[in-house]
Amino acid sequence: MATGWANDGAVQDQIDATVKDAIQRARRQLPTGPSLLHCEECDAEIPEARRKAVPGVRLCVTCQAAHDEEQAAGAGGINRRGSKDSQLR
């Protein structure tokens, strides 16, 4: 059901675009190349199991968790809804 000037399926198109953008952003952040033996932040040894599980890993678990928290705090997302509520966040 279209509302206002929106075409049928416009909301779903926005949802699909948001998901596609998130997937592309996540893929760009994946490590590439050979895994390091030691963390590039703290120089702690990276266990072999982690190197096998995450090809191209560059950080130990502790530093990766801190990095992920920083990324999450800085990620505001993209406002596609245009509503007052989403603009106030």
pLDDT per position as a tens digit, 62-81: 999 999 898 888 766 555 55
The 10s digit of each residue's pLDDT in 39-50 is 999 999 999 999
Higher pLDDT, 78 or 11: 11
Task: With CA atoms as reference, report the closest residue to 55 among 39, 37, 38, 33.
Answer: 33
**Average of pLDDT values for 6-18?**
86
User: Does position 2 have pLDDT exceeding 60, yes or no?
Assistant: no
Residues 48 and 30: beta-carbon distance below 8 Å? no
Residues of the chain above pLDDT 90, percent: 49
